[in-house]
Amino acid sequence: MGIGQLWVVGTPIGNLEDITARALRILKEVDLIAAEDTRHTGRLLQHFGIITQQISLHEHNIRQRVPQLLQRLEAGQQIALVSDAGLPGVSDPGYELITACIAAAIPVTPIPGANAALTALMASGLPMNRFCFEGFLPAKGRDRQQRLAALQQETRTILLYEAPHRLVQTVTELCQVLGSDRLLVLARELTKRHEEFWRGTLATACAHLADHPPRGEYTLVIGGATSSSSAVDWEALKEELSALLAQGFSLTQASSQIATLTGLPRRRIYQLGLELRHKES
């Protein structure tokens, strides 16, 4: 028997219909599934009638488990790597196994699937042509402050993950470091029954979260820094936008006109218009 193969399999982030036919076939055909949480993955497998054996692979056993899995792969077994949701290794366990396989010349094949950051970006309305993914910020200390400071001048759209119990703290600190006028989209419970998108600025997000305590999993999409951000009087800009809308201009027309006059991105102006409408409703 020749050398085996590692299949890195994307799984749904919520809605089970988002799994691909190829992913289901691989999960059925492999000898073993290395899962972040075998109970969680077990529910997925049961739903699709898959009886493949599982083995756990998480942050607490990864040092012992990787050599065991390498031994199986070198003996010719086919192994699928999955996380609880989304793409293995992306803010989830699995990176160490992937790199160990590459170092051992074991083939690694990705099976694409859902990803919360890109799913949020798709519907955010913020620029998608250039973006950076930061995953979870460090929980505290100097590492957290240094990461926040590094984002201050980031001109690309920023994607972050955050747990509900830390969301208020993170949004508050982002507001302090990046500026209160920076655009923000809070994407909650993506692809699930209670999926929700909230759009506004970092400042208005603080007020929103005070009235709507965070629940569920969140992805943050943050507008990048602009060279003229510090010179813009955003309150005056909102007044001008309101005046144009009152004159009968559509939001698209008003946004384009103001963007032409100020040199600011039209999408940024458009988001401010959406925020104004949200306040009025």
What confidence score (pLDDT) does residue 233 get? 65
Convert the pLDDT of each residue in 49-69 to its tens digit. 999 999 999 999 999 999 999
Domain 117-222 in CATH 3.30.950.10: yes
Q: Where are the domains of the chain?
A: 5-114, 117-222, 232-280
3-class SS letters over the chain: CCCCEEEEECECCCCHHHCCHHHHHHHHHCCEEEECCHHHHHHHHHHCCCCCCEEECCCCCHHHHHHHHHHHHHCCCEEEEECCCECCCCCCCCHHHHHHHHHCCCCEEEECCCCHHHHHHHHHCCCCCCEEEEEECCCCHHHHHHHHHHHCCCCCEEEEEECHHHHHHHHHHHHHHHCCCCEEEEEECCCCCCCEEEEEEHHHHHHHHHHCCCCCCEEEEECCCCCCHHHCCHHHHHHHHHHHHHCCCCHHHHHHHHHHHHCCCHHHHHHHHHHHHHHHC
The mean-pLDDT minimum among 24-33, 100-109, 218-227 falls in 218-227
Convert the pLDDT of each residue in 208-241 to its tens digit. 999 999 999 999 999 998 865 544 566 777 888 8
Looking at domain 5-114, which CATH architecture does it have?
3-Layer(aba) Sandwich (3.40)
